[in-house]
Amino acid sequence: MALNVNLVAKYFLGPGTRAGSDPAGWNRTWAGYDPDADDEVNFEHNRGLWTLAPWHGSRERIATMSVGHVVRIVADIDGIEGVTLPGGSVKHALVGRVLRPGDPDHDRFVGTVVPAYRNPVHYLPGSDAMCLCGCGIVLSSARRWVPGHDQRALHKRVRERWGTIEHFVSWYDTQPHPQHRPDVD
């Protein structure tokens, strides 16, 4: 399955607007889908605040955002974070990265029609994914690899470029490494 959020058209947030100030405290000036913004900007403005069941939603690895019940954005989800609102209640936000054309999950979902539901958040049935190693095995959406296939894919790439693990380790140990990698957090 994949988690789907059905977005409305762009609307403004802030003092004096109908929606009021950003309840997340993120200082967003708008939410909803903006056709003039790229997918990353739309995702960032709409990744929360949602009522999600963390025990169910946190198992999903793909989230889609639809407009008019047509999927426009697909993201690889790392998790769901709780956001405490000023009144003390907790809503949820998606944490992840937007997928680009050429990614199998992006290409599979973008443009597909999702059913109309009363609530803006629902789960798409039958959206199983393939193992990332390329073996062709279909997985439940909560997984990215058949057990052990991540190691198989890693070792294949090490063999292709360095020949042996020892050669890879020798090469790696001679490379400069920054103390902090923001893209790995």
Q: In 110-132, which positions are buried (b, 16+ CB within 10 angstroms) versus exposed (e)?
A: beeebeeeeeebbbbeebebbbe
pLDDT digits (tens, 9 = 90+) for 43-81: 999 998 998 876 555 567 889 999 999 999 999 998 889
Q: Is the per-residue pLDDT at 183 higher than 70?
A: no
Binning pLDDT at 50, 70 and 90, where does residue 185 land? very low
pLDDT computed for residue 115 by the predictor: 82
10: pLDDT strictly greater than 50: yes
Q: Which of 4, 121, 6, 98 is nearest to 52 (CA)?
A: 121
Cβ–Cβ < 8 Å for 123, 60: yes
Phi, psi (deg, nearest 5) at residue 5: -115, 120
90-129 pLDDT tens trace: 999 999 999 999 998 899 899 999 888 888 988 776 555 6
Which residues does 124 contact at the CB level (< 8 Å), separation at least 6? 1, 2, 3, 4, 64, 114
Query: For position 167, what pLDDT does the model report?
Result: 92
For 119-165, write each residue's pLDDT tens digit.
898 877 655 566 778 777 766 655 667 788 888 889 888 999 999 99
Contact (CB, 8 A) for 51 and 121 = yes
Quote the CA–CA distance of 150 and 119 in Å, as a whole number: 36
pTM for this predicted structure: 0.67
DSSP 164-181: SHHHHHHHHHTS---S--
C-alpha–C-alpha distance, residues 108 and 76, integer Å? 13
The C-alpha atoms of residue 11 and residue 73 are separated, in whole angstroms, by: 18
pLDDT for residue 28: 93
| Euclidean distance between CA atoms 117 and 96, whole angstroms | 24
Give residue 1's pLDDT band: very low, low, confident or very high (50, 70, 90): low
Q: Which residue, chain included where needed, has tokens 């999950």?
A: 105
Q: Could you tell me the two tokens for 22? A: 């950003």
